[in-house]
Structure 1
């Protein structure tokens, strides 16, 4: 990654046009081909950016631009769309390049596999009388997160997500259609469990007879005692 702190202005031309007046900014040139312009504020969002794949070409300022105090011009071109970002630099305050290597990716606390493990240990979170049959129940189109039985000993297929959206409901629907063809399992009910369920996903699930359950991650880990709550 190349990090350049410079006194610069930025002009974007594409589906719309945008202009950033001259100011001190951070220019990030990443190895994936993206270019991001940051200020010392505005949280994590760049002021302007160019997504990969793009190319960066350095242009010598003409006489008029040089007289205006510009020392460098960078033309950033988006290969697919043809969008252009022109960075006009008056002064470079710092220019450093770092080799990051391969990133292992973000490891989140409470990923779906961990939620599945916790819910299997505390299957009563789905309701009184529920019992675990097994985790990762394999079907012809993939594994169902949890196969359980309710208090009436009917089969229940549970799909677990961190954030439940329509795609998760569609996935569970496909599992249910397949599992309900098995006379040893049928009838199979569906439970869509997530830490957060979007309103559209809840509406679709309930329309298809699928019960929605919001998971309290801290409670499943035993870190939230309801008796100590004020409300």
Structure 2
């Protein structure tokens, strides 16, 4: 009995020490092992037009009809699970865009410093209401590096670079029995947050847009040069 108690106490203390060490180190992992700074020269450009476009786009997609359409498109590809976008939140603020000096004429690279307060809110239901995961973005300050490999019109990549500040909440609900916030669990919450930040800064996200080819019968056709007439 004494040996069992001693073993349990030793295991508990060891686990507690490990959690404390992780709590103190993991939140800084994204800064230590994240992406290196971009060593290119940059040129600052105004973004009043970009902020206006983002505001108008988000205003359009904030309507109940638009959000319902987004949810329908996503849910059509993930049955039996269910995705629900609740709100896109406030429009992010972009103070300027950094256009990087191109080393290769076929590569376009820009850096966008982004501020987003009270961003998207969504939830994801696993199976037939087995469990629900809720996500809310409260604050994000950081830089996004966007590149178009070989000046592709349909494919671009983006990743997060440099230091960034992010505050969010992830809640978990199991059926109707209990609900709790992962971020508010002592020690473990900050460890989970640090791991998520590290995963995000280490990832390169690729987005491929539809390739729009003009129909030969389309009334929109390129203008012919007079020299070829």
TM band (smaller chain): under 0.3
> Relative CO higher for 1 or 2, CA cutoff 8 Å, sep ≥ 6?
2
TM-score normalised by the chain length of structure 1 = 0.25
Q: Which has more radius of gyration?
A: 1
Q: Specify which structure has the higher proportion of helix.
A: 2
Q: Specify which structure has the higher proportion of strand.
A: 1
